[in-house]
Homo-oligomer: A and B are copies of this chain.
Amino acid sequence: MTGTSKAPSRLDETDRRILRALQRNGRLTNAALAEEIGMAPSPCLRRLKALEEDGVISGYRALIDRRQLGHGVEAYAFVKLAQSDPDWRTRLIEKLKAFDEVISCQAMTGECDLLVHIVADDIEAYGEFAMQRLLTLPGIADMRSSFVLATIKPDRGWPV
């Protein structure tokens, strides 16, 4: 790892307007962005570059309808780890990260140790993945799956 992120940058209201706009539409051209926040294109681009440089903006992503990819099932697995040496834990984590079905994984406080966001084409595929590939990993003491029935509030990013 080379680049240590600096962080003197306190975000002012202009920065925040830029972030808000790009969270709504990450593909805005600089010209359109500048107009939206009421600023000339050049200083707007300067700020945008600084925000990227400082890692405030870490990237851009196209949002895709998972159903049209054939992924009919979205689930969360609540995983409780067996107490085992850190080595095992590390290897488990590595395996977990490698699965395409695992969208994201976070270590948590509380009842479960890991919150694993999973996608699969259908329930059968999910079952096979969970039983054959997840639960067979050494180091998992317990796992419960919950399936997404409906998205009540879709993720639109952080409040800025």
Contact = CB atoms under 8 A, between A and B. Distances in A.
Contacts of A153: 96-97, 102-105
Interface size grouping (class) on chain A: 35 or more
A55 B68 contact: yes
Given A109-B149, A152-B93, A152-B107, A19 B64 contact: yes
A7 interface: yes
A109 B65 contact: no
Contacts of A93: 152
A22 B62 contact: yes
A131 interface: no
A32 interface: no
Given A103-B158, A104-B153, 18 more contacts: A22-B61, A22-B62, A23-B64, A24-B61, A25-B59, A26-B27, A27-B60, A55-B65, A55-B68, A56-B69, A57-B63, A60-B63, A61-B63, A61-B156, A66-B158, A103-B153, A105-B151, A107-B148
